[in-house]
Structures are given as C-alpha cells and as structure tokens.
C-alpha cells in the first residue's frame, strides 16, 4: 500500500508582493463571442489591480493561443494565468501542459468557464451574459492571486495489471500489456473465455470465421507466461490507488459446468457457441480467495443482449419469433439445425428482420427497464449485423424472401454501407417505420399461407399500410451492459445514464475513468463492434503501460492537508471521509507533548473536500482549493 504521508511537498510561498495575473478570453469560434462581448470583458478585467494583461483570441486552445500565454509569462513576468473559455473538463489539462512546456509551474493556473456557464446558458441575454463573464473571471483572478506552486504526488508503480473480463476486449488488453513487459492477471466470471464473440459464426466486414480469430487470440494469451488466467472468479474487494492496488479475487461458488475451474492458471480450448472451455491442472474449491497486487485495473466486462419482454413483437408467444443472436446460431453449421434455415422442422420461405428492438426507445412509448429508464441510446452495431444476416440468408438460400423493417439504417463503419447496397441488389425489401408506429407481428389463421404476418405503416411509400406474410420474425436486439453493480461498489465506478461505465471525456480521455488507475475497454463502456472494442482495449493497454513504465506515477496534488496547530483530533473528518485509508488519527509529538491529530494519506485522498467542510477549526484545506481561496472568490463576485 502507498506510504502514508501528510501531503505532497510544497515549495516555498511566492513573494509577498501581489502576484501579477494574465487573463486570456476565448471567442471559441463564436460559441462565446456571439453572446458575450469579449472586448468589453477584457477592458473591465484590466481594471482589476492584480491583472497585468488581458487578451482575447479566437481559439485559446490552439497553438497560437497557447504561445500567446507562454510569451506573456516571459515578457510580462506573470505569476499566474487565468483562461476564460469552455468547460475545464475539455481544456484545463491543455493549458496546464502549456505552462509545463514553458518551464512554469502548471498549478499557477485557474480556469473560468464562460461558455457552458455563460454564453450557452444565457444566449438570450447578451448584456447579462457579459456581466456574468466579468464576475466569473474576477473570481478566478482572486483565486489565482492566492495560488501556490504545487508538485505532483509521486507514488511507486507496481508493474502488474489486472484485467476484469475475458472477452475479446479483455484478451486483447492482456496480450498488449504483456507485450509491453507487464505482468497480467486476467479474471473472468464465467467458466469460459471469448465472451460474446464466441457466439458468432462470421465477423464483418471481412467475413472471417469468428472461431479462427478467437482461437488465435486465446492461444496467444494462454501460452503467454506473463499472463495468469482465472476463470470462474470474481473481484470482491479492492484497496489502494493507481500504482498500487490490492485486488481480492474469489472463486465463484456453484456449478460452473467445467471440471476444476478456479483460482489457478488455465489451459483453454475454443468451442463455438460455448465459449472457450477451461481445462485446469489442479482443482480449486468454491469460495477460495487470493489477493493480486497491481498498478492498474482494466475493466472489460462486456455486454448482454436486450431480452424482449413477453409479447413484444409476439416474442415468447410464438416460437417463430426469435432474436438476431438466435438466428446467428441457427445459421451456423454447428447450430441446432446444422445450418439449415428451418423452424419446427419446416423450411423458412419468408423472413422479417425488425431493427431497433431494445434500442432508441422513447419514454411513454416503450416499456422501461426495472430501473425506470428506457434504452434511449443507439446500439450502433445492430444495423450492420442485421444487414450481414440478410445477405447471408440471400447468399445461402436465394429463394427465401427477406424483409427489413427499420427506423434508420446506421451502417457507420468502413465497408458497412456495402452490406446495405448488396442486400438491396439481392432483392431484400426495406420498409421504414416511425417509433410511434412500430411494426405489428400477428399470428395468422389456420388457412393462411404463412403462420405470421407483419403489418407496418411504411414511410418510404408515404405512409401506406403494408402487410408481409412470413414464416420467421427476427428481432435485432440491442446491447445492454452486464450487471456489474458489485464492481461499481468495489471501485466506486462512475456510471452513465445509459448504465454503461463512463469515461472522463469521450475525446480527450476516452478510456480513462475518474478514479485514477481504472481504465475501460470494449463494450463495458458502450455499444461497439469487435474492431472498436479491440481498439479501445489496445488504447487502455497503452495508457496502462505509460502509467507503469517509469516505475512511478504522478498524481494531481489537489489533496487534503492538515494544519496540526489547528487540529484538535476531534475525528469529525474521519466520519465524513468516503475513501478508506485516506484519513486517520495518529499520535504525534509537538513541543514535547503527544497530541492526537488527523493525518492524510495523500495517494488515497481524492480531494473531495468533505473533511474540510466539517472541520470546526478550519484545520483542513484542499491544496489548490483552500477555504481562503473560496472566500476571495466570493468577495470578488460580490464586489462586481
């Protein structure tokens, strides 16, 4: 575990003279300047005594914008910088790194958000928005005056990674990590490796056999001496932080349908539609536990298919209504019919494929999930997967009529649109419906030519009501995250409104989580295909290798610090702290007397400030966000 320390080393205070601050106001290409009068803002900000320069730029995040800051730091001998632009979630790190490149302390910087909090929020009131921007920048300047140069907290990094999830993403991440020279522990809850990819016959757009691709990947991972594989296992606890986690793993109790699975190194064999069957060298009892020390954790827990509710498009009411995964198994040579397209012993002559089942749902129209929310997101891969299935049916069974009922065709990837064009050329008929008027699947009478019929109001024919008699209805079901509520509790993972795990930023930090040292891979993060899943797994492995490659990691210095002279050891801060081990009471000697004081373990502190809020003596502050700095910001806003 990280060594307990009071806080990061602090450099000496800046000179007693009032620091000189440079303020830089961004037009954001009109996103800000179309509402906020940035020139007026700059003129008013210049009147603040601590402001040495106040400039504007079309794009402060651009190279010229950053160079402007660096030049002023040298020529104007600035002590601090304030940038007024978009959300700090987007570019705070950009400007800190700019200061670092110029050999300036990156923490003598403050960010004012005048896009999301001003121009976007008050686009109908330019005068009010301009005044608000001035006040927010004044508050940022007041804080910048009181900033101190900070140093990152350095923590030893243990050169080992834990990968949770044995699907294609987890396997890819493990292989990439090993190639970087890191040890890997791969943990899979089921008895098998391969995840959902093991349920496929062919993959698009190459049409390669999923079995062949997965077999090669699995064999590389299994034969790698740097990788230990534990199947039938789950994470039950974790402590520590980036660089030094301790993860406790337990063998999953119950029948795993594979002899000898457990917390031991595995040999793996692939079987289509069953995943990768495990064969182990020695048995392990249910409930056995072990601890794994690692520097980072990659979460690749995968997804599950949406399960249509009973009666949805007649699902569960007719054996002739199946899901797309069921169709894929049906078409496989190793499937229940040996690859023949037949249902209940009869050949299929007409097939209806219905898109967007369990995706792009609308409140008030679709039935919500148990948590009360509908799946409003697009599952992205379903359209191409459905088109691929339609093409395969027409290639193997040219006499079969195929009908596709869709809301929108979103074949977004390279080569995906070709499936749509090929399907059209092969005679697949397309009908477009709206969310408030979805297709109706109904049983027909005993004398009908087909056992089912699909009725739809087709927008391609300007709202004409059409009917298609079919033998088989295939529901193109969307993706949903696996239930990993236990992991969410163990690691305090951020979860989005779509129930998938949430990254820090989709473009700037796409595989990182808000919890340091936790990385995302594959469909645990959201719907994506195999290519995208492997790409995100490789990105997560690269991030992990960068973090652990130097033997240490540097953490942000925004952690709690205790003033021993003010602390009376009351313990209120410990009761409020949500991070185990971040705070404790200890006996220290002061002027020959032993007194009980709060002590901060900086690597475990998340800088949330809860402890500072409850301390009755203002003995605790968060570096970079002290109570005095907050007071000065409030005073500056009130003075405008």
pLDDT in tens, 542-557: 999 999 988 999 889 9
Q: How confident is the model at residue 610 (pLDDT cuts 50, 70, 90)?
A: very high
One domain for residues 506 and 564: no
One domain for residues 507 and 565: no
DSSP summary character for residue 155: E
Percent of the chain with pLDDT over 70: 92
The per-residue pLDDT of the chain, averaged, comes to 90
Edge to edge, what strands does the sheet with 160-164 contain?
227-231, 183-188, 160-164, 296-299, 518-520
Average pLDDT over residues 96-103: 93
Residue 628 within a domain:
no
Residue 629 within a domain:
no
> pLDDT at position 604, please?
86
Distances (CA, A) of 164 to 239, 255, 302, 524, 540: 16, 21, 10, 10, 13
Residue 104 within a domain:
yes
**Final residue before a domain boundary, out of 505, 520, 553:** 553
Q: What is the pTM of this model?
A: 0.82
- Residue 540: phi and psi, rounded to 5, are -65, -40
> pLDDT at position 254, please?
58
Question: What is the domain extent for residue 116?
Answer: 1-150
Residue 274 within a domain:
yes
Contacts of 74 (CB under 8 A, 6+ apart): 102
One domain for residues 176 and 255: yes
One domain for residues 238 and 206: yes
One domain for residues 380 and 435: yes
Domain count, the chain: 4
One domain for residues 471 and 597: no
One domain for residues 427 and 320: yes
One domain for residues 398 and 444: yes
The CATH number of residue 211's host domain is 3.50.50.60
> pLDDT at position 279, please?
39
One domain for residues 171 and 187: yes
One domain for residues 126 and 32: yes
- 276-286 pLDDT, tens per residue? 554 343 335 66
One domain for residues 292 and 172: yes
**Final residue before a domain boundary, out of 150, 181, 207:** 150
Q: For the range 209-217, what are the long-range contacts, defined as Cβ-Cβ under 8 Å and sequence gap of 24 or more?
A: 210/272, 211/270, 211/272, 214/168, 214/270, 214/276, 215/270, 217/168, 217/171, 217/172, 217/175
Residue 627 within a domain:
no
């Amino acid at each position: 575990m990280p060594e307990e320390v009071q806080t990061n080393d602090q450099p000496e205070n800046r000179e007693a003279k009032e620091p000189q601050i440079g303020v830089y106001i961004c037009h954001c290409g009109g996103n800000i300047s179309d509402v906020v009068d940035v020139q007026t803002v700059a003129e008013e900000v210049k009147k603040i005594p601590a402001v040495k320069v106040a400039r504007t730029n079309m794009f402060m995040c651009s190279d010229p914008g950053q160079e402007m800051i660096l030049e002023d730091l040298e020529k104007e001998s600035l002590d601090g910088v304030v940038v007024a632009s978009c959300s700090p979630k987007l570019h705070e790190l950009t400007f800190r790194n700019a200061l670092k490149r110029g050999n300036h302390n990156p923490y003598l910087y403050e960010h004012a958000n005048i896009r999301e909090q001003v121009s976007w929020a008050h686009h109908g009131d330019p005068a009010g928005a301009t005044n608000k921007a001035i006040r927010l920048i004044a508050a940022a300047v007041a804080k910048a005056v009181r900033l101190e140069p900070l140093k990152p907290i350095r923590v030893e990094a243990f050169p080992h990674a834990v990968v949770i999830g044995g699907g294609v993403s987890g396997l890819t991440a493990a292989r990439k990590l090993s190639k970087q020279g890191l040890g890997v522990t791969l943990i899979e809850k089921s008895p098998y490796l391969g995840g959902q990819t093991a349920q496929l016959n062919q993959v698009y757009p190459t049409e390669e056999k999923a079995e062949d691709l997965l077999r090669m990947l699995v064999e590389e991972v299994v034969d790698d001496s740097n990788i230990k594989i534990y199947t039938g296992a789950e994470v039950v606890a974790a402590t520590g932080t980036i660089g030094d986690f301790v993860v406790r793993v337990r063998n999953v109790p119950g029948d795993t349908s594979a002899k000898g699975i457990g917390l031991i190194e595995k040999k793996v064999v692939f079987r289509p539609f069953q995943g990768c069957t495990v064969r182990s060298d020695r048995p392990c009892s249910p409930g056995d536990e072990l601890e794994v020390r690692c520097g980072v954790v990659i979460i690749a827990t995968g997804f599950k298919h949406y399960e249509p509710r009973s009666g949805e498009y007649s699902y569960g009411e007719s054996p002739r209504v199946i899901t797309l995964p069921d169709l894929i198994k049906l078409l496989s040579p190793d499937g229940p019919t040996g690859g023949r397209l037949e249902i209940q012993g009869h050949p299929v002559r007409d097939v209806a494929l219905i898109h967007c089942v369990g995706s792009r749902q609308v409140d008030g129209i679709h039935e919500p999930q148990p948590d009360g929310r509908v799946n409003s997101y697009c599952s992205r891969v379903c359209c191409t997967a459905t088109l691929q299935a339609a093409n395969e049916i027409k290639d193997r069974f040219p006499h079969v009529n195929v009908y596709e009922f869709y809301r929108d065709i979103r074949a977004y990837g390279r080569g995906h649109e070709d499936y749509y064009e090929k399907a059209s050329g092969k005679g697949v008929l397309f009908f477009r419906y709206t969310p408030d008027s979805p297709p109706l699947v109904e049983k027909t009478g005993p004398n009908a030519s087909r056992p089912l019929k699909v009725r739809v109001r087709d927008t391609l024919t300007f709202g004409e009501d059409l009917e298609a008699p079919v033998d088989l209805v295939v529901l193109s079901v969307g993706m949903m995250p696996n239930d990993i509520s236990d992991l969410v509790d163990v690691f305090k993972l951020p979860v989005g409104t779509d129930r998938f795990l949430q990254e820090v930023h989709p473009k700037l930090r796409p595989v990182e989580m808000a919890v340091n040292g936790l990385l995302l891979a594959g469909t645990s993060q959201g719907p994506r295909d195999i290519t995208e899943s492997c790409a995100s797994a490789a990105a997560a492995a690269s991030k992990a290798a960068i973090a652990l490659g130097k033997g240490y990691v540097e953490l942000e210095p925004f952690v709690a610090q205790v003033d021993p002279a003010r602390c009376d050891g009351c313990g209120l801060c410990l009761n409020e702290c949500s991070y185990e081990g971040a705070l404790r009471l200890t006996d220290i000697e002061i002027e020959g007397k032993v007194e009980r004081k709060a002590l901060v373990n900086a690597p475990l502190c998340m800088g949330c400030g809860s402890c500072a809020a409850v301390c009755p003596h203002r003995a605790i502050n968060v570096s970079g966000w002290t109570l005095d700095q907050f007071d000065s910001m409030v005073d500056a806003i009130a003075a405008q």
